Structure 1
């Protein structure tokens, strides 16, 4: 007897297949608005004492990647919770997941270097078409200059007198530019003993459309679409002033911290190049049918 199995992130199997960097977008109407689900399935919201604090990304069933400065308020894991909706909107009334560990890079001391941290969830998430992990790059895999990538951040809808107003997911197109550009733009911030403002652990990006990466976007993933796969090349660290497009934004480079992430999460995988998308359902079905008929013909 021959058993054929074909992986595909969109197949309605239980449990759902874990495929990093792939999406399965669906749409539904919420409060009279058309809402997309599953477009950015790794996006999470980090709450401090029940109030939204930062964004983060799901790269493992139990681990969240975010910026270190997001967790400066406290290192007490009981004060943080995480919301994973897989939707374009969330409210602070949504189900909150408990955190069991807060891990901040030991060399983080300011916004310019080692601005990276991890949160460990108390219980693993269940993968679905709305919740999937993002891919992380290997240490040698860096975005090419001129690459157009995306930052996703939570923006709050302003409703007077409503503390539970929903947040909507906003998209920002970001062009990867030379670190020298950021070094020149932020030269006035250099101290006497500094030659360069940005080190190899940071990326420089210029917003092309959408909203600028303001302080409220901290921890948001910077993802690039390569060979049909979304790869998180960075995360939002900071920007000099919100809405001032003459100043590019600063991102923590995830590929620089491959070894550090691996030291904290032993079973995480990194990719050295974007792997091809899985077989489409129609092609997969046709392939299985074709092979099955071949075996029948040989009987």
Structure 2
């Protein structure tokens, strides 16, 4: 008699697959230019949540708290990810020159005004693992890090991944950078997310970038402004066939250039991804480990208190050992007459370590008034 339930579930699964959220396609239009803006190192305020891949990376150094930028990326199909890109130098405590421990880093997704702690769209995620490019030496080259988060970022209108490039070439067109970094050389960081259009700078002389580094990094910026302190790790992205693609990561400002003008970017090219195959290998090995330790149904981590001879029984009951019935749900109901509650259980139809299914009584789902 429950066949129709499973049928509905699988139909909904198919609907979810058919409406899979694509990378680089925000739910809100991007404010690609702002002619009337009060520009601060060339920036204007981004339309809230129009850059849903943008992350605020919070870092705890020995000298105190600081922040970088980052982006949500995706390697596997689906409507969630636990991967983020940022700059490698952000993951090194600059006071000790030691790699940060994962517990000293976290990312905030879905934010616009980072100073507004009541912003309902934001969610903070702890970092499980920090993987820095194997050739990074605290310089501009190979300044890239992958963060594996403790829990996945679920896609919504406020949080979505950016697309990654499928070739070496960066398009010769207007592109953008975004971040919450410093708004002037002597000032503080921005509370709201700012962005600016910035062209790629082609190499006019050997003094800017050594010839053998050009396949790893590029320059971008203009006299109107650009990235500055606090923007490191954020994206350099372009619009390709109405999809936003990240081609670079904010790294450093070259010596001798004014703040907020020319910046160095890590090139996210096919060549760089080939060099980072070991990163993805580690990620997939971890995924396999997770699969091999799949949690089984009906097996609690704590022993069940199946009887209690000495209990002070209340209508035949005794207190269960805390968390020994981990499938038990408290179903909160808002009837017209007020708040009520029922019981329920966590169930699973597909393999894995998560589910979105619960069982309860039908009469609980009917307002008795």
TM-score by length of 1: 0.67
Partner of 2:130: 102
**Which deviates the most, 45-54 or 238-247?**
238-247
Distance 1:169 1:72, change over 3 A: same
Partner of 1:89: 113
Partner of 1:204: 219
Q: Distance in 2 between matches of 1:53 and 1:103?
A: 18
| Correspondence list, 1:101-250, <5 A | 101-138=129-166, 140-144=167-171, 146-155=172-181, 167-178=191-202, 180-181=203-204, 183-185=206-208, 196=211, 198-207=213-222, 209=224, 211-240=225-254, 244=258, 248-250=262-264
- Secondary structure of the corresponding residue to residue 82 of structure 1: strand
Unmatched runs of 5 consecutive residues or more in structure 2: 1-10, 31-44, 75-80, 94-98, 285-369
Q: Distance in 2 between matches of 1:157 and 1:177?
A: 22
Contact 2:223 2:261 in 1 (8 A): no
Q: Distance in 2 between matches of 1:242 and 1:134?
A: 32
- Structure 1 residue 19 corresponds to structure 2 residue 31: no
Instruction: Compute the displacement of 1:157 (Å).
Output: 8.5
Give aligned pairs, total. Answer: 234
- Secondary structure of the corresponding residue to residue 272 of structure 2: helix
User: Which structure carries more relative contact order (alpha carbon 8 Å, separation 6+)?
Assistant: 1
Contact 1:150 1:224 in 2 (8 A): yes
Partner of 2:103: 78
Instruction: Compute the displacement of 1:242 (Å).
Output: 9.6
Taking only aligned residues, the RMSD between alpha carbons, in angstroms, comes to: 3.5
Q: Distance in 2 between matches of 1:182 and 1:54?
A: 30
Contact 1:215 1:239 in 2 (8 A): no
Instruction: Compute the displacement of 1:17 (Å).
Output: 2.8
Max radius of gyration: which structure?
Answer: 2
Contact 2:87 2:232 in 1 (8 A): yes
| Correspondence list, 1:258-297, <5 A | 258-265=273-280
Contact 1:62 1:125 in 2 (8 A): yes
Instruction: Compute the displacement of 1:126 (Å).
Output: 0.7
Q: Distance in 1 between matches of 2:190 and 2:262?
A: 28
TM-score by length of 2: 0.55
